[in-house]
Amino acid sequence: METVLISVLNGLVYGMLLFMLASGLTLIFSMMGVLNFAHASIYMLGAYLAFTVSEFLGFFPALIIAPILCGLIGAAIEIWGLRKVHHNGHIAELLFTFGLVFIIQRLVQMTWGMLPMAYRVPAVLDFPLFALYGVNFPAYRGFMLLVSACMLLGTWLLLKKTRIGLIIQAALTHPSMVSALGHNVPMVFTTVFAGGCLLAGLAGVIGGNYQTTEPGMADSMGPIVFVVVVFGGLGSLAGCFIASIVMGMIQTFAVVVDYSVADLLRPLGVVLSGDTLLTEVLTVPVARIGALLPFVMMVTILFFRPRGLMGTRDA
Amino acid sequence: MTSLIRRLGFAFVVLSLAAVARPVWAQDTIKVAYVDPFSGPFASGGDEFLKVFGYILQKVNADGGALGKKFEIVPFDDKLQPAEALIALKNITDQNIPFVMQCTGSNVGAALVDGVSKHNARNPDNRILYLNCGALATELTNEQCDFWQFRFTGNVEMRAAARIKALPKDITKVYLLNQDYLFGQSVQHDTRKWLAKLRPDIQIVGDELMPFGKVQDFSSYVAKIKASGAQSVITGNYNRDLNLLIKAAVDDGLNVRFDTYLAHLIGGPTAIGAAGENRLSTITEFDPNVPVELKKPDAEAFSNGWRANHETDFSEIPFLTMFQMLAKAIDKAGSTDALKVALALEDMKATDMVGFPVQMRKEDHQLLMPYYAATFSRDVKYDAEKTGFGWKTDFIATTEDLTLPTSCKMKRPAS
């Protein structure tokens, strides 16, 4: 019971961090039809910028400044990069963001070096919030939950309750109509791209010291974010939210499960023994392949429901 | 800010140097090819080692090099891929470079052992020696041993023996957590073997393999370790797989020791910081506090010479031993011919910088050398990576302690 409760909490924290990243990605995708490969790189940039800013001004100013910088970088990428290659079609845009991944990676290595940064949780948040069956729940994880919940609420209000949100939603599905009504659609695109990058930057700021800030962090976060977006349904914020939480939970729960497929079969009277390949595969405990499960789920959902959980169009 | 600008400047210098890599005094130096990752996620290791070799060569060349010539290192990027390493090997043999070093990754090491052996069989007039300075899998000097490979670093089993010998006496319950790939499985196997041999009083309460480099959130592992009642986690994890584990353990208030193999690797102390104080231990080949504890001022001065210009620490004493032994072997052979140098290296005895005896065993070409077990502590003269914490030696496993049997049946060349 105690492990279940603790895993739920940890899964929630991780899931919300994933959502912060994935929501920006899915917004950008639904608007521009481009899967932004460089999204996790912006997340990494957010962590590094936050580290540098917090060296001078402290963590809380960094929490505001670093995401804004990431947003500006995103806007610049959209205006001077994506927009230029847009008329060559989606493949060109896709390849452009793919190239960006390597450029940002290299720039980060050249600027900050290849070693992990000493980016730490601020002292005011570095205490156990409460203890659950003898296991501490750190205050910083509570803070992460708070920030991501505020961000979720903010994005929802912005998209559903304001005029800007109305235009963005309209531009998602009917760009030419919105343009005909006199709205600056390219401007809307830039705003959305910058907004997505801002969210990725914010995730970087609070994820960078929760995990480690190092040049490999984009590589480790990139694939799982794509899985979340595809699983939740491309372009659907609600689906993205559900998928993030599900993936977060799965990854934390898989670790505590020591059963294997063979254990499931045992009550049915199937007993595996010997040294065959099949036995090897079926007796691997779930904990050992936990990190694979999200990818298995993505493949499964693409097979049975190509548009994802709540997607509106096919992937 | 200045350090940022300096790094940028440095990066540009390195890039421009790489562009004009071909050396000017090609005739006057003894070239040693160096294959390691210089790009991709593991680039930090290769990059750092290259700088360390530069520092070591200053000393070795000032001491006279070999045959009156200086050594020169020619780097090749393998991206930690065996296939890339073999392409580099082709390039190296085309340039008639007689020595190739490689210090990261047993998968690449295994490919090089095989590649070098085949090359030498086919090209007896252009043979090459593989100097292994960091492919640790025990097999490489056991079942897969080869005459053309010399390993100048302790294999996993030697490290495991040192690890278990150094465990505090009051520990009775341990948890093994390792990465699910060649190295992690090798650590898991040899740790179990030496626990059974040396510490039958210890109970293994958990034994787990985790996906390599894929786990983002370690809090569930921490909960599991806590539930098992272990007093110590013995792990071969390194980089983020270790740093995140220890961070999560401290956050969740898990009070156990971490008896690791590789916590001292570059970047580890910075990423772990205060979280590791007095509970994190590692197995090293050297660290800057060893000469202080053993009162060896020369070694301390050498390690300080590195420290003065770098933000990292000098711990690669076997690299120095390797070049000193290589120089001696070349002088003895009177040429850089791979076969003659190999014969000269066999059974060669030497003294490392700290003064311990080392020996290149003829049977398996494994360097017999000492290891140090050290704890992350505030109570040291030299801190690691300017963190305020450094490695304090608790135990020295001597060369005799780590002279372990080998199963190598080496095929020796006819002439």
User: Per the CB < 8 Å rule, is A288 touching B220?
Assistant: no
B190 in a domain, yes or no? yes
| Same domain flag for B197 and B262 | yes
Under 8 Å between Cβ of A257 and A287: yes
Whole-number pLDDT of residue B7: 61
List pLDDT tens digits, range B43-57. 878 888 999 999 999
> A86 CB contacts (<8 Å, ≥6 apart)?
A92, A93
pLDDT at B24 over 50: no
DSSP symbols for chain A: -HHHHHHHHHHHHHHHHHHHHHHHHHHHHHHHS---TTHHHHHHHHHHHHHHHHHHH-HHHHHHHHHHHHHHHHHHHIIIIIHHHHTT-HHHHHHHHHHHHHHHHHHHHHHH-SSPP-----GGG-SEEEEETTEEEEHHHHHHHHHHHHHHHHHHHHHHHSHHHHHHHHHHH-HHHHHHTT--HHHHHHHHHHHHHHHHHHHHHHHHHHS--STTHHHHHHHHHHHHHHHH-TT-HHHHHHHHHHHHHHHHHHHH----HHHHHGGGT----SS-HHHHHHTS-HHHHGGGHHHHHHHHHHHH-TT-SS-SS--
Of residues A110, A116, A291, nearest to B8 (C-beta): A110
Average pLDDT over residues B188-202: 94
Mean pLDDT of all residues belonging to chain B: 89
What is the CATH number for B172? 3.40.50.2300
List pLDDT tens digits, range A33-57. 788 899 999 999 999 999 999 999 9
What is the CATH number for A45? 1.10.3470
CA distance B360 to B349: 7
ipTM of the complex in this document: 0.77
Which domain, by its residues, includes B164?
157-284
B380 in a domain, yes or no? no
Residue of A103 and A114 predicted with greater confidence: A103
Taking contacts as CB-CB distances below 8 angstroms, the residues of chain B near A10 are 217, 219-220
The first and second tokens of residue B361, run together, are: 């065993």
Which domain, by its residues, includes A113?
2-304
| Same domain flag for B100 and B137 | yes
List pLDDT tens digits, range A154-189. 988 998 899 988 998 888 778 889 889 999 988 988
CA distance A110 to B93: 32
List pLDDT tens digits, range A297-309. 899 998 988 888 8
CA distance B297 to B185: 39
The first and second tokens of residue B59, run together, are: 């000393």
Q: Which of A54-63, A128-137, B397-406 has the lowest mean pLDDT?
A: A128-137
CA distance B306 to B266: 14
Q: Give the number of domains in chain A.
A: 1
Which residue in chain A has the smallest CA separation from B275?
A120
User: CA of B243, closest CA in chain A: separation in Å?
Assistant: 8
Under 8 Å between Cβ of B238 and B266: no
Q: Which of B352, B368, B384 is the last residue of a domain?
A: B368
pLDDT at B121 over 80: yes
According to DSSP, the residues that pair with B179 across neighbouring strands are B210
A90 in a domain, yes or no? yes
CA distance B91 to B412: 26
Taking contacts as CB-CB distances below 8 angstroms, the residues of chain B near A216 are 41, 213, 239-240
Q: Give the number of domains in chain B.
A: 2
A89 in a domain, yes or no? yes
User: Per the CB < 8 Å rule, is A251 touching B273?
Assistant: no
Mean pLDDT of all residues belonging to chain A: 87
Under 8 Å between Cβ of B160 and B111: no
User: Per the CB < 8 Å rule, is B223 touching A256?
Assistant: yes
**Residues B39-45: contacts with CB under 8 Å, at least 24 apart:** B39/B77, B39/B79, B40/B79, B40/B80, B41/A215, B41/A216, B41/A219, B41/B213, B42/B80, B42/B104, B42/B105, B43/A109, B43/A114, B43/A215, B44/A113, B44/A114, B44/A115, B44/A215, B44/B266, B44/B267, B45/B103, B45/B104, B45/B265, B45/B266
B115 in a domain, yes or no? yes
Helix (H, G, I), strand (E, B) or coil at B61: helix
List pLDDT tens digits, range B137-159. 899 999 999 999 999 999 999 99
B92 in a domain, yes or no? yes
User: Per the CB < 8 Å rule, is A6 touching B387?
Assistant: no
Of residues B211, B223, B251, nearest to A7 (C-beta): B223
A315 in a domain, yes or no? no
A282 in a domain, yes or no? yes
**Gyration radius of chain B over CA positions:** 21
Q: Which of B333, B350, B368 is the last residue of a domain?
A: B368
Mutate to test the interface with A, among B7, B77, B209, B217 (most CBs of A within 10 A): B217
Taking contacts as CB-CB distances below 8 angstroms, the residues of chain B near A57 are none
